[in-house]
């Protein structure tokens, strides 16, 4: 129906219902950048709801290049989203659940409350020392709290 030009190639994408009238897209880009956008029916364009970047040196862990592409997964009940960055760290984006049932106008300003709350980073090595090289992750259905399952290999297995 429409074509939109973006500033970089999309590495990962997920959808989430942040308002009752329309869905939002979570667009993940390499080098640990994430945009939350939604369709604006008045301008027939994409409207940026939230921007996030995680390119700090302490998060990179010494990596100069991005070897692993990011992954974005959304909780089945739309309570939060998780983004795997640099194959080793997980960023959690909690969603605000107290939004009104009508269309929420996301205006910019210092005191505006959008649908995405403050993000935070989880290092899986703090839970288990051998969690490394995360290959995939998925939220599990039917849990009271958002529960994330990780598929990882403690030692990278490849020829060479």
**Predicted confidence (pLDDT) per residue in 11-56, tens digit:** 999 999 888 888 899 999 888 889 999 988 898 899 988 898 887 7
pTM exceeding the 0.85 threshold for the entire prediction: no
Residue 25's domain is classified under what CATH number? 2.130.10.10
CA atoms within 13 A on the CB side of 86: 21
Count the domains in the chain: 1
Q: For 84-114, write each residue's pLDDT tens digit.
A: 988 888 999 999 876 544 444 544 444 456 7
Give tens-digit pLDDT for 123-155. 888 887 788 788 899 999 999 999 999 998 887
Helix, strand, coil shares of the chain, percent, nearest 5, are 5, 40, 55
Judge whether 41 lies within some domain: yes
Boundaries of domain holding 37: 10-152
Does residue 126 lie within any of the structural domains? Answer: yes
Residue 22, in any domain of the structure: yes
By DSSP bridging, strand 33-40 and strand 24-29 are antiparallel
Q: Flag whether 69 is in a domain.
A: yes
**Spatial distance between the Cα atoms of 7 and 9, rounded to a whole number of angstroms:** 7
Q: What percent of the chain has pLDDT over 70?
A: 80
CB under 8 Å to 28, separation ≥6 — which residues?
Answer: 10, 11, 12, 13, 34, 70, 71, 72, 83
- The token duo for 63 is 């990596």
Query: Using H for helix, E for strand and C for coil, what is the string for 21-44?
Result: CCCEEEEEECCCEEEEEEEECCCC
Residue 160 lies in a domain: no
**In a domain? residue 128:** yes
């Amino acid at each position: 129906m429409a074509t939109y030009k973006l500033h970089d190639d999309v590495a990962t994408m997920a959808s989430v219902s942040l308002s009752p009238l329309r869905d939002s897209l979570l667009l993940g880009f390499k080098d640990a950048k994430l945009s939350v956008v939604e369709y604006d029916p008045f301008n027939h364009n994409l409207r940026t709801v939230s921007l996030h970047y995680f390119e700090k040196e302490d998060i990179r862990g010494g990596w100069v290049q991005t070897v692993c592409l990011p992954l974005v997964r959304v909780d089945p009940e739309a309570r939060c989203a998780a983004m795997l960055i640099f194959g080793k760290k997980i960023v959690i984006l909690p969603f605000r659940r107290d939004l009104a049932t009508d269309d929420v106008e996301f205006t910019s300003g210092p005191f505006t409350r959008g649908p995405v709350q403050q993000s935070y980073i989880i290092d899986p090595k703090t839970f288990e020392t051998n969690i490394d090289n995360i290959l995939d992750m998925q939220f599990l259905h039917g849990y009271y709290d958002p529960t994330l399952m990780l598929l990882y290999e403690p030692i990278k297995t490849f020829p060479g």
